[in-house]
Amino acid sequence: MPISNHASTELDRVIQTLYTFQEIMQQPDLWLNTVERVRAAVEQLNLTTRLANVRVLLTGAGTSAYAAASIAAAWPRAVAVPTTDLLVDAERYLADMDVVISLARSGNSPESAAVVKRVRAVRPEILQLAITCNEESTLSQSGLDGLIVLDPKTNDRSLVMTSSFSNLVLAGLALARSDEIASTVGAVSKRVAELLPSINISCERISADVRDRVVILASSPFRGWTCEAGLKLLEMTAGHFSVVTESFLGLRHGPMSFVKPQTLVLCLLSNDPVRRMYEVDLIRELRAKKIGRLVGITQATEENAAEAGDLFDNVLPAVAPHLPDDLRTSFEIVTPQLLGYHLSLSIGLNPDNPSPDGIINRVVQGVRIYPVTSDRG
């Protein structure tokens, strides 16, 4: 049977996508390596002692900032501040801090090295570490006290960050909650590898019906996941789809006005019973108002299959439903990554370079670093 022109065009687009799909699908193969690299660095740098009972500030820009937020949610006494804020307001954010940990894929964004220098100028006694996917970077050579370098395969070649995000988050979690991560990463990696092919097919089907807007919902431990999921859809579709990210409870306070009958509403459900009750209430409200095409990321079992079918138009499997919510982000992010990938293809873009006009770039450009004056108020 001859291939139609439409099918041939679609095939050409997929073939031209050299990196993104591979970088999404490779993630389970990299997670064990990331945990092992962190373990080795902890021993080499004596971090078990140096990070005990300290105030930690995690920082990064864009996707790396969302990685920082995801780690901070699981790390007692830690906070996340984007480099884009820390650079211009270092004095405010560094008060009472003992450690700053920078996160970066390339480590070549202008803010990355500038923040290290700024922290050193304001609080020279602060311990400065970095987790990066690129050993040969400006950040790596900026005078840090310690560096954790991830497998070079995590240094995504695509414009968008996928495996770099999940591995940066996992590395930070391995610092914060080492025993829990070490005891679970093997089983979760195996489960994700088994589920990815079917999740990929489901995301392709769901993407075909997305019209013009998307809402992404999750509860507070997933705030970094929610922001990153929204960013993946925006980046890979060059802003073609309007995206709102919110908490389930927060949606009622105004953003629900964004939800129309055909709006895709992607819901990541908590495994905490109290959070989940609030989440289900909101989903039932959307059902009653007949707004939103509801897609749930949840663990569908024989016991709750009827409820899942009642709540959602489509159900995607949660890949780490048995972990505490604050340890799930690095694994559950694979689903919105694949959804963004298929949305990109559906509108004729190449996910490797969805901004061919250079509106955004793999490494941020155009940032001028200014000296800080001594009379600053």
Contact 73, 177 (CB under 8 A): no
pLDDT at 164: 97
Q: What phi-psi label fits residue 294: left (phi over 0), alpha (psi between -120 and 50 degrees) or beta?
A: beta
CB distance 286 to 265 below 8 Å:
yes
Lowest mean pLDDT among 139-143, 181-185, 327-331, 341-345: 139-143
What average pLDDT does the segment 317-334 reach? 97
Q: What percent of the chain has pLDDT over 90?
A: 81
Residues 344 and 354: beta-carbon distance below 8 Å: yes
Q: Is there a single domain that holds both residue 44 and residue 141?
A: yes
- Say which range, 234-243, 326-335, 361-370, has the weakest mean pLDDT: 361-370
31-55 confidence digits (pLDDT tens): 999 999 999 999 999 999 999 999 9
3-state secondary structure of 313: coil
Token pair of 136 as six digits: 């040969």
Q: Which residues on adjacent β-strands are paired with residue 315?
A: 296
What does pLDDT average to over the chain? 91
**Looking at residue 245, what is its pLDDT?**
98
Together in a domain, 299 and 164: no
Report which of residues 365 and 203 the model is more confident about: 203
What average pLDDT does this structure show over 331-351?
Answer: 96
The answer to whether residue 4 is domain-embedded is no
Q: Is 6 a domain residue? A: no
In this predicted structure, what is the pLDDT of residue 109?
81
Residue 94: how many CB atoms within 10 A of its CB? Answer: 19
pLDDT, residue 377, reads 46
Number of domains comprising the chain = 2
**Does a structural domain hold residue 201?**
yes
Output the pLDDT for position 366. Answer: 61
Q: Are residues 232 and 148 in the same domain?
A: no
pLDDT one-digit tens code per residue, 173-200: 999 999 999 999 999 999 999 999 999 9
Q: List Cα–Cα distances, 331 to 24, 38, 170, 178, 255, in angstroms.
A: 11, 17, 9, 16, 27
Q: Are residues 91 and 166 in the same domain?
A: yes
Same domain membership, residue 81 and residue 99: yes
Higher pLDDT, 377 or 115: 115
- Do 196 and 162 share a domain, yes or no? no
**Same domain (yes/no): 248, 274:** yes
My answer on whether 106 and 33 are in the same domain is yes
Q: Please, are residues 74 and 327 in contact by the beta-carbon 8 Å criterion? A: yes
Q: Phi, psi at residue 127, to the nearest 5°?
A: -75, 125
One domain for residues 75 and 203: no
Q: Which domain holds residue 31?
A: 11-176
Label residue 1 by pLDDT band (50, 70, 90).
Answer: very low
Q: How confident is the model at residue 271 (pLDDT cuts 50, 70, 90)?
A: very high
pLDDT at 326: 98
User: Tell me, what's the pLDDT at 327?
Assistant: 98
**Residue 353: predicted pLDDT:** 85
* Average pLDDT score over residue span 187-215: 97
Per-residue pLDDT at 111: 83
Q: How confident is the model at residue 300 (pLDDT cuts 50, 70, 90)?
A: low
Residue 377, in any domain of the structure: no
- pLDDT at 310 (0 to 100): 87
pLDDT band, residue 370 (cuts 50/70/90): confident
Is residue 110 domain-shared with residue 228, that is, in the same domain? no
Q: Cβ contacts of residue 217 below 8 Å, gap of 6+?
A: 226, 245, 246, 247, 248, 251, 265, 266, 267, 268, 279, 282
Domain boundary among 139, 154, 176: 176
The answer to the question of residue 373 being in a domain is no
Is the pLDDT confidence value at 233 over 80? yes
Distance CA 70, CA 187 (A): 21
| Interval 243-260 mean pLDDT | 98
For the domain that residue 125 is a member of, what is the CATH number? 3.40.50.10490
Going by C-beta distance under 8 Å and a sequence separation of 6 or more, which residues neighbour residue 301?
none
